[in-house]
Amino acid sequence: MIESTFDYIVVGGGAAGCVLAARLAADGGKSVVLIERGRADTNRWIHVPATFFKALQSQDAEAILSEEDPSLDGAIYPVPQGRVLGGGSSVNGMIYMRGQQQDYNDWATVQGCDGWAYKDVLPVFIRQENNQRLSSPFHGNGGKLCVADPVPPHPVSKAVIEAAINSGIPGTDDFNGAVQQGAGWYQVTALDGQRQSSAHCFLKPELYRDNLTLQTNVQAQRIQFKNKRAVALEAKSGDGSDLLIHARSEIILTAGSFQSPKLLLLSGIGPREQLIKHGIAPVHESPLVGSNYQDHVGTPVTRELKGVKGLYGADRGMQALKHGISYFATGSGLLNSNLLDAGACVDTSACGRADVQFNFAPFAPGAPGRPPMECHAVQVHPMTMRPESRSRLGLRSGNPSDAPLFESHALDSEADFDTLRRGVRLAQDIFNQPPLSDLVGDEIWPGSNVSTVKGSNTLDDAIRKQARTIFHPAGTCAMGGAETSVVDPELRVRGVDNLRVADCSVMPALVSGNTNAPTMMIADRCADFILAVSEE
Given a contact cutoff of 8 angstroms between Cβ atoms, the answer to whether 92 and 197 are in contact is no
CB-CB neighbours of 494 under 10 Å: 18
Positive or negative, the CA dihedral 459, 513, 18, 371 is positive
Please give the full DSSP string across 316-369, using - where no structure is assigned: SHHHHHHHHHIIIIIS-SGGG--S--EEEEE-SSSSSS--EEEEEESS---STT
CB-CB neighbours of 308 under 10 Å: 14
d(CA 283, CA 269): 6
Largest Cα–Cα separation, the chain: 70
CA proximity to 85, closest of 242, 181, 195:
195
CA proximity to 341, closest of 319, 356, 363, 320:
363
Please give the full DSSP string across 106-128, using - where no structure is assigned: HHHHTS--TT-SHHHHHHHHHHH
Question: Considering 139, 376, 381, 472, which one is annotated as catalytic?
Answer: 472
Residues 497-521 as b/e (b if ≥16 CB within 10 A, e otherwise) read: ebbbbbbbbbbbbbbbbbbbbbbbb
d(CA 469, CA 503): 19
Contacts of 56 (CB under 8 A, 6+ apart): 80, 91
What phi and psi values does residue 346 have, to the nearest 5 degrees?
Answer: -135, 140
Distance of CA 76 to the CA centre of its chain: 20
> Catalytic residue at 472?
yes
Q: Which residues pair with 81 in a beta bridge?
A: 62
CB-CB neighbours of 44 under 10 Å: 10
Residues 8-35 as b/e (b if ≥16 CB within 10 A, e otherwise) read: bbbbbbbbbbbbbbbbbbbebebbbbbb
Burial bucket for residue 369 (CB in 10 Å: 0-12, 13-18, 19+):
middle
Q: Which residues are catalytic?
A: 472
